[in-house]
């Protein structure tokens, strides 16, 4: 346990971390990967290249130092990171490697001897945090070991179908190469896919939300190609590989579904708000919600009461509001699938906002709002007070919609979100 003096030493580094945290964590990653090159297949090199990894870790280290008296306040973030770690098959010995390189990085960047009190204090603090991570991750690993169809580590999957969904997004339908069962998972969760990247000559992992439903006989991911044309940045290593080199019949490695962003209550009204490729977990949620009460013969709840099966089914079907923003119809993936579902299910209500529309597209038919999504301009029925709200999209989009929902009187505890993109943190 940390002594009070050691806590004081850790707290004293807060100003330094605020000013030099990213330089420290960037140095740390370069040092660790140079000394342990095998970890290059665990850490996403695209995040290393962009600096997103160092920035995320710097923020986490700072938050830990600021809350050293009560690290329990960080548990929601810890749980998020632990799901990522388990999806990457990070094991407890890996924490020794991280700890050693982190302490040496602090020593070398700040020019402090390794036997200094500050290094000792951070060593104890790091071990305290590592123990929390390891215990939480062991629970997640045990759940996988004890779940039918699930697995620990990597499992080979075959690309059964590859379907172009828009000018940027392609879906990959994945089935186990061993012909075994698929695990049950929560709609909204992700898998980690690992594939050999020709540009690097090594395997690289990347998390992708499942756009399939837990009821499907396959796992589907819908992947946006990240390149200079669409992002103004270097091409994404994994997304480019999937689009350019992975075809039907190809084999990829997957970890079992993970993540703590998922549908919580299928028996309430749910409002799903997404932007761009952030619609993928929402598609999974929609399909699951519609399947929940699809057949009165398999759902005992539909056989209760005095109404006929169809009337009871209709009464039990809560409204689903799917609100989606995209730059244009050209990049709007899976639209036809959603429209077909809405046609067959009157409780599914779609609202589409396009920043750019074609002259041939008709308001009210092809889209419902032109320009950026503005929740204040939506019909009131799309934003019911008694509902659960799910947000997924780029971070600025998420922040904007969250603020709008709060201003509209939606309780904070009813809003659930997951940032989509190349951010993310792996300790």
Give yes or no: 330 in active site.
no
Estimate the crossing angle of helix 14-35 against helix 92-110, to 10 degrees.
120
C-alpha 149/C-alpha 70 separation (Å) is: 38
Cα of first residue to Cα of last residue in the chain, in angstroms, is: 21
Active-site residue (options: 137, 226, 400, 418): 137
C-alpha 54/C-alpha 425 separation (Å) is: 9
Q: Residue 64 belongs to what H/E stretch? A: helix 52-66
**DSSP labels for 85-141?**
HHHTT--HHHHHHHHHHHHHHHHHHHT--TTSHHHHHHHHHHHHHHHHHHHHHHHHH
Residue with tokens 């837990």: 214
CA distance readout (Å), 309 to 289, 314, 359: 18, 9, 45
φ and ψ of 270, to 5 deg: -125, 135
Local structure of 395: helix, strand or coil? helix
C-alpha 370/C-alpha 83 separation (Å) is: 37
Active-site residue (options: 29, 95, 126, 389): 95
Give yes or no: 95 in active site.
yes
C-alpha 221/C-alpha 382 separation (Å) is: 28
Catalytic residues: 95, 137
């Amino acid at each position: 346990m940390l002594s009070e003096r050691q806590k004081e030493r850790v707290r004293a580094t807060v100003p330094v971390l605020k000013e030099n945290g990213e330089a420290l964590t960037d140095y740390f990653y370069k040092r660790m990967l140079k000394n342990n090159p095998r970890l290059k297949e665990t850490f996403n090199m695209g995040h290393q290249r962009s600096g997103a990894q160092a920035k995320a870790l710097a923020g986490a280290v700072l938050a830990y130092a600021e809350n050293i008296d009560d690290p329990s306040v960080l548990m929601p973030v810890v749980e998020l990171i632990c799901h990522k770690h388990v999806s990457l098959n990070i094991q407890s010995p890996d924490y020794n490697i991280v700890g050693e390189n982190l302490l040496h990085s602090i020593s070398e960047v700040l020019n402090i001897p390794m036997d200094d009190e500050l290094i000792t204090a951070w060593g104890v603090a790091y071990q305290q945090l590592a123990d929390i991570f390891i215990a939480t991750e062991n629970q997640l690993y045990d759940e996988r070991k004890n779940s039918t169809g699930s697995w620990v580590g990597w499992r080979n999957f075959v690309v059964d179908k590859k379907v172009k969904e828009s000018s940027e997004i392609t879906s990959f339908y994945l089935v186990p190469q061993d012909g075994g069962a698929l695990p049950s998972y929560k709609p909204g969760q992700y898998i980690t896919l690992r594939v050999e990247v020709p540009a690097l000559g090594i395997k690289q992992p990347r998390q992708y939300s499942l756009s399939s439903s837990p009821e499907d006989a396959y796992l589907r991911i819908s992947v946006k190609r990240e390149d200079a044309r669409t992002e103004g940045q270097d091409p994404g290593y994994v997304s480019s590989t999937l689009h350019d080199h992975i075809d039907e019949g190809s084999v990829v490695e997957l970890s079992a579904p993970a993540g703590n962003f998922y549908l919580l209550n299928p028996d309430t009204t749910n409002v799903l708000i997404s932007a761009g490729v952030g619609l993928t977990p929402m598609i999974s949620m929609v399909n699951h919600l519609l399947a929940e009460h699809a057949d009165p013969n398999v759902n005992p709840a539909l056989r209760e009461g005095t109404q006929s099966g169809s009337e009871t089914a209709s009464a039990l079907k809560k409204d689903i509001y799917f609100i989606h923003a995209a730059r244009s119809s050209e990049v709007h993936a899976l639209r036809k699938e959603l429209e077909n579902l809405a046609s067959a299910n009157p409780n599914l209500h779609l609202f589409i906002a396009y920043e750019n529309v074609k002259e041939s597209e008709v308001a009210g038919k092809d889209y419902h709002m032109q320009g950026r999504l503005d929740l204040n301009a939506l019909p009131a029925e799309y934003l019911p007070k008694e509902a659960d709200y799910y947000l997924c999209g780029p971070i600025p989009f998420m922040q904007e919609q969250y603020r709008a929902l709060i201003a509209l009187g939606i309780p904070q505890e009813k809003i659930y979100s997951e940032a989509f993109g190349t951010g993310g943190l792996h300790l």
